[in-house]
Structure 1
């Protein structure tokens, strides 16, 4: 599965803001017009804002349709996003083998995100036969192409010895590279290594960076890890993670914050690596 991968930005809200300045509703109307005229980039971007509900009513099924139209015109990221829709059941039935097929096709076009997503299926055996060695090879290819999330996972493979010999130095190096490249999970992993080495000030810096960029699922896991950290300085940050999760999440996250703020006699444990 050796392909020449390139670094490509995902079609996320931040990229849309940078590339399409203006009022969201105006941008949505412009994209719709361009998409109807057959412009694949506009079709892909329209699919993304429909998926996110940015400037337009959220419609995952229609997003899936536009991703498919753009993919048929050779748009690699649209094909990758079609794979994501199929993997997660966004806008229709879940189809893991179909997701794998679209990831492979986008990967053949050199898309690092597709390699990362296909590696995730290989690592978990969803839609394809489980193959950790092949997953690692793809993560490494994407990481070497500059994909920040893959860098973090390469670090994890080396740390845990998944299909490769344990190599703590390689793990540290890849976590650091992921952190510097802006991945919030990589920043958290890097911080954990620094904390264990006693470099608490640097660890706290990266934990604050991860807090700013982290999504809700990450915050929910990270807040527990920090709350159970051996170091008091790290436990103090758990409150900020709980607060941010409560802002982004639901009533369960609000209750978790209230429970955390209540007096507790929990025994602290080491921060997971």
Structure 2
């Protein structure tokens, strides 16, 4: 017999998420019950734990199904996650065009992650026609909502003058804001600006933060880039980046 969900647990998605940290298996049963009862937040959360294998057997195909159920009920994050399933081939075939459809809907609903993911496709021409102007607009909108990754990419557009007039001062400010908001790529961008200004100690601080939070792809690209720095202390960070990349591979 499964865990009997109390009424207040069905209605409180925040409690369901908190339960995942305390007792993942018990939480998974509660989430499943709430999802079957039609709670959209629980349906989206069930998709996530099935994707991650958190408290339940990992099943990306079933995760995709639950994301679709929640998305069809109007859940914007589930719509975004359905896009990610299509983009990355989680639980089915890779389909960038279908990913773009879902991201666009999530973006239209005002979801910052939907705006970010849709902009990524627009900026690379994957699944949609290449459109830097619209990508920039999406990044800007998400950045103004506080989305850290979008802040960094908005900075990149402004620094390079892509689909806009180049504005290094604004670019650097967005890099700083992205770094402070916790994005490791924003931290790396901010560190590069600080190093160029001769503020090496400050740059090293942000490079360390980026190292701590960076994923494998970021570390593999950024490590060699550090070897081009003029300051030996920054070049020495390349070894640390490579070591962590090796540990994650």
Change in Cα spacing, 1:17 to 1:118, as seen in structure 2 (3 Å) is: same
Matches of 1:57 and 1:228, distance apart in 2: 45
Following superposition of structure 1 onto structure 2, how do residues 77-156 of structure 1 map, counting pairs within 5 Å? 77-156=77-156
What SS does the aligned partner of 1:164 have? Answer: coil
| 1:225 alignment counterpart | 225
Following superposition of structure 1 onto structure 2, how do residues 148-187 of structure 1 map, counting pairs within 5 Å? 148-187=148-187
| 2:10 alignment counterpart | none
Per-residue deviation at 1:18? Answer: 5.3
What SS does the aligned partner of 1:127 have? Answer: coil
Matches of 1:246 and 1:200, distance apart in 2: 26
Matches of 1:81 and 1:47, distance apart in 2: 9
Matches of 1:144 and 1:161, distance apart in 2: 19
Matches of 2:208 and 2:140, distance apart in 1: 27
Q: RCO (CA 8 Å, sep 6+): is it higher in 1 or 2?
A: 1
| 2:56 alignment counterpart | 56
**Paired residues of 2:24 and 2:55 also in contact (CA < 8 A):** yes
| 1:71 alignment counterpart | 71
Matches of 2:35 and 2:238, distance apart in 1: 45
What SS does the aligned partner of 1:21 have? Answer: helix
Q: Deviations over 1:61-93 (max 9, x none)?
A: 111111001111111100000011111221111
| 2:6 alignment counterpart | none
| 2:200 alignment counterpart | 200
Q: Deviations over 1:210-256 (max 9, x none)?
A: 1111111111111111233221111222222122222221xxxxxxx
Deviates more, 1:128-137 or 1:229-238: 229-238
Deviates more, 1:53-62 or 1:109-118: 53-62
Deviates more, 1:102-111 or 1:74-83: 102-111
| 1:261 alignment counterpart | none
Structure 2 unaligned spans of 5+: 1-15
Q: Deviations over 1:74-124 (max 9, x none)?
A: 111000000111112211112222211111211222101101111111111
Per-residue deviation at 1:37? Answer: 1.8
Per-residue deviation at 1:139? Answer: 0.5
Per-residue deviation at 1:55? Answer: 2.5
What SS does the aligned partner of 1:92 have? Answer: coil
Matches of 2:182 and 2:215, distance apart in 1: 13
Query: Is 1:246 the equivalent of 2:246?
Result: yes
Matches of 1:58 and 1:224, distance apart in 2: 35
